[in-house]
Chains A and B, each alone.
Chain A
Amino acid sequence: MPLPYSEKVLEYFKHPKNVGKIENPDAKAKEGSPACGDMVTLYLKVDEKTKRITDIKFESFGCASNIATGSIITELAKGKTLEEAKKITWNDAAKELGGLPPVKVHCSVLAVDVLRAAIEDYEERHGLIKERVKTTKEIVFKRLKHVMNPLVGLDIVKTNIVKDIEIEDGTISVMMDVPRDHQFANNIEEEVKERLEHLWDIKKVEVVFEKE
């Protein structure tokens, strides 16, 4: 059948791995929200001494690529130390899955991010985290690397869609190199906001399209 997904994606979609909740997890995280579409949660059990992930489970309110990536990422992370697991990238997941259609990349990135967020949660709870840092342009750019350009399946920084960033008085303005009536404008705006709004010292996020 000419479905856009690889056999591996379909297999993991049909028979997802490590799904469910962990009671009394050592760490947990959530990415996305039902209000904006896909949402994933992830739970960790971590050995305190070795810092190895002993159990990992995820739940998904998302599409096939989200469910498949959640499966693969949890399989990759299980048994690894937190430091090792932190290094798992979206590329690792995509490679394992035999590729993903560009337009679906953004749904799968969530499943990778939620692992990092859960590890951060663990570090925060266990006093492993340093001082809160002020949001800089670099931090914003780094975060925007997780927003995908659905047209090509690469992030919006790499594909030069972000022209510039300004940070002033708790407001981030993201200047885009695409017009307001771009096919994915609304989608990109939503995702950019979602990536940045939760930063502790940010009150407002503006996405400015070309010639507005």
Chain B
Amino acid sequence: MKRVYLDNAATTLCDKRVVDAMIPFYTDKYAVASSQFSHSPGIESKEALDKARETIANKIGAKLEEVIFTSGATESNNMAIKGVAQANRTKGNHIITSSVEHRSVREAIESLEKEGFRVTKLPVSNEGFISVDDLKESIRKETILVSIQYANQETGTIQDIASIGSVCNEKSVIFHTDAALSFGRLPIDVKKEHIDLLSITAHLIHGPKGVGVLYIRDGIEIVKCMYGGFNEFNKRAGTENIPGIVGFAKAVELIGPEEIKYIKKLKKRLYDGITKRLDAVQLNGTQKESLPTILNLTFRFVEGESVILHLDMKGIAVITGSACFSRSLEPSYVLKAMGLSHEEAHGSIRFSFSRFNTEEEIDYTIDAVYDVVKKLREISPITPNK
């Protein structure tokens, strides 16, 4: 059966060239990275680690010692949020975030709330944007941290990070952003955008799973979460995952200048193709500032789990924000925060793209979506004028 993978916002294919770059660090150069006074294999590993760090630092405009390797964006988010909160306990107890964050930010902050921190969750517009004025008004004397994502995992909506950064900078509040899905998709400059902490992960850009980075601006204090050594500038203990880290850097190097343009074209092709053939299709998110890798659509009058099951039978992998699909049997909190009704979330489908998708796959998907939605609308009691 033909296979079309359109769930690239969950994870991506690890590029063969990335795997090739990683293998020697398992089979041959497997020593622990160590100081220059150690044995040669250790020094060689250290050099590989430093080189990878440099690649990633350059990509976001950071200094070497501001780049801390972690096990992924989940860890980076937890480390940033809990680490900053603990380190600044005496300065204040108020944290500001948005209502559409990834679970790793959302639940890390909820855990602090249980410990007594006060939290403001900014609402979003129906396109998924927070209001910078809302943010300004929410900052108070006790505010120690603002954590707002770069772009959204379900709809692709991109926040005005530069403005958010400036506001935080003016008010001297620490600013963290989860850039897991924007890194490698949008140009990021932590200095220009006044970002104090930034979380990224390798597996969303064709790197390996289980490797991430937390950028921590020089001078920002955090309390360590992982104890057990001086690794990563004494900010995160544990033997470095050198193969993974090398793979992460390789994945960054492989992002070509034409890649985003190409992915944008795929997204447009799918959107145009579907909306030309089906009516009552609603875009969840925005036409304005949106990731090229994500397209979220609601097909009115049908239920999402039915759609994805049918598409799966045709070899197409996508996900839905429908309650029937979620572990809590509740519709996506992101779509709900954007003001979508239960019914609209019910029929939402997220398509997410990568450089490995082809135009032919998109055309196949358009046909499949058309057939499936048409069929399900025929049996739906709420479809008007069948």
User: How many Å from the CB of A63 to the closest CB on chain B?
Assistant: 4
Selecting from A14-22, A75-83, A138-146, A195-203, the interface stretch reads A14-22
The B11-25 residues at the A interface (CB cut-off 8 A) are none
Q: Which residues of B contact A38 (CB under 8 A)?
A: 303, 324
Q: Is B112 an interface position by the 8 A CB rule?
A: no
Whether A63 pairs with B381 at a CB distance below 8 angstroms is no
Whether A61 pairs with B324 at a CB distance below 8 angstroms is no
User: Per a CB cutoff under 8 Å, which of B312, B313, B322, B329 touches A187?
Assistant: B329
Whether A150 pairs with B306 at a CB distance below 8 angstroms is no
Q: Is B135 an interface position by the 8 A CB rule?
A: no
Q: Is A13 an interface position by the 8 A CB rule?
A: yes
User: How many Å from the CB of A45 to the closest CB on chain B?
Assistant: 18
In the complex the two chains form, what is the Cα distance from A103 to B329 in whole Å? 8
In the complex the two chains form, what is the Cα distance from A183 to B330 in whole Å? 10
In the complex the two chains form, what is the Cα distance from A36 to B309 in whole Å? 21
Count: A-B pairs, CB below 8 Å: 79
User: How many Å from the CB of A152 to the closest CB on chain B?
Assistant: 13
Q: Is A60 an interface position by the 8 A CB rule?
A: yes
The B81-115 residues at the A interface (CB cut-off 8 A) are none
Whether A60 pairs with B330 at a CB distance below 8 angstroms is no
The A4-44 residues at the B interface (CB cut-off 8 A) are 10, 13-14, 16, 19-20, 30, 34-41
Whether A19 pairs with B328 at a CB distance below 8 angstroms is no
Q: Is B44 an interface position by the 8 A CB rule?
A: no
User: Per a CB cutoff under 8 Å, which of A37, A60, A186 touches B380?
Assistant: A60
Whether B343 pairs with A35 at a CB distance below 8 angstroms is yes
Whether B341 pairs with A63 at a CB distance below 8 angstroms is no
Q: Is A94 an interface position by the 8 A CB rule?
A: no
Whether B382 pairs with A39 at a CB distance below 8 angstroms is yes
User: Per a CB cutoff under 8 Å, which of B306, B328, B343 touches A67?
Assistant: B306
Whether A34 pairs with B382 at a CB distance below 8 angstroms is yes
Whether A64 pairs with B379 at a CB distance below 8 angstroms is no
The B62-78 residues at the A interface (CB cut-off 8 A) are none
Closest to A59 in B: B381
Q: Which residues of A contact B305 (CB under 8 A)?
A: 63-64
Q: Which residues of B contact A150 (CB under 8 A)?
A: 329
Q: Which residues of A contact B312 (CB under 8 A)?
A: 3
User: Per a CB cutoff under 8 Å, which of A35, A59, A61 touches B341?
Assistant: A35
User: Per a CB cutoff under 8 Å, which of B301, B328, B380, B382 touches A183?
Assistant: B328
Whether B303 pairs with A61 at a CB distance below 8 angstroms is yes
Whether A62 pairs with B309 at a CB distance below 8 angstroms is no
Q: Is A93 an interface position by the 8 A CB rule?
A: no
Whether A59 pairs with B323 at a CB distance below 8 angstroms is no
Chain B, interface residues (CB within 8 Å), range: 20 to 34
Q: Is B264 an interface position by the 8 A CB rule?
A: no
Whether B381 pairs with A40 at a CB distance below 8 angstroms is yes
In the complex the two chains form, what is the Cα distance from A183 to B329 in whole Å? 9
In the complex the two chains form, what is the Cα distance from A37 to B331 in whole Å? 9
The B265-320 residues at the A interface (CB cut-off 8 A) are 301-303, 305-306, 309-310, 312-313
Q: Is B224 an interface position by the 8 A CB rule?
A: no
Q: Is B46 an interface position by the 8 A CB rule?
A: no
Whether B342 pairs with A37 at a CB distance below 8 angstroms is yes
Q: Which residues of B contact A20 (CB under 8 A)?
A: 378-379
Whether A39 pairs with B306 at a CB distance below 8 angstroms is no
In the complex the two chains form, what is the Cα distance from A10 to B312 in whole Å? 12
Whether A59 pairs with B380 at a CB distance below 8 angstroms is yes
In the complex the two chains form, what is the Cα distance from A41 to B383 in whole Å? 12
Closest to A186 in B: B330
Q: Is A107 an interface position by the 8 A CB rule?
A: yes
Q: Is B346 an interface position by the 8 A CB rule?
A: yes
Q: Is B327 an interface position by the 8 A CB rule?
A: yes
Whether A41 pairs with B381 at a CB distance below 8 angstroms is yes
Whether A13 pairs with B309 at a CB distance below 8 angstroms is yes
Q: Which residues of A contact B306 (CB under 8 A)?
A: 13, 62-64, 67
Whether B328 pairs with A61 at a CB distance below 8 angstroms is no
User: Per a CB cutoff under 8 Å, which of B325, B329, B378 touches A184?
Assistant: B329
Whether A61 pairs with B382 at a CB distance below 8 angstroms is yes
User: How many Å from the CB of B342 to the closest CB on chain A?
Assistant: 6
User: How many Å from the CB of B52 to the closest CB on chain A?
Assistant: 36
Question: 10 tightest A-B contacts by CB?
Answer: A59-B381, A63-B324, A63-B305, A41-B381, A34-B343, A187-B329, A19-B379, A61-B380, A37-B323, A64-B309
Between-chain CB contacts (< 8 Å), 30 pairs: A10-B309, A10-B313, A13-B309, A19-B379, A20-B379, A30-B381, A34-B342, A34-B382, A35-B341, A37-B324, A37-B331, A38-B324, A40-B381, A59-B380, A59-B381, A60-B379, A60-B380, A61-B302, A61-B346, A62-B306, A63-B305, A63-B309, A63-B324, A63-B325, A64-B305, A64-B306, A64-B309, A67-B379, A103-B329, A186-B328
Residue numbers of A with Cβ under 8 A of B are 3, 10, 13-14, 16, 19-20, 30, 34-41, 59-64, 66-67, 103-104, 106-107, 150, 183-184, 186-187
* Apart from A61-B303, A66-B303: 20 A-B pairs, beta carbons within 8 A: A10-B313, A13-B306, A14-B313, A20-B379, A35-B341, A36-B342, A37-B303, A37-B331, A38-B303, A39-B382, A59-B379, A60-B379, A60-B380, A63-B305, A63-B306, A63-B325, A64-B309, A106-B329, A150-B329, A186-B330
Residue numbers of B with Cβ under 8 A of A are 301-303, 305-306, 309-310, 312-313, 322-325, 327-331, 341-343, 346, 378-382
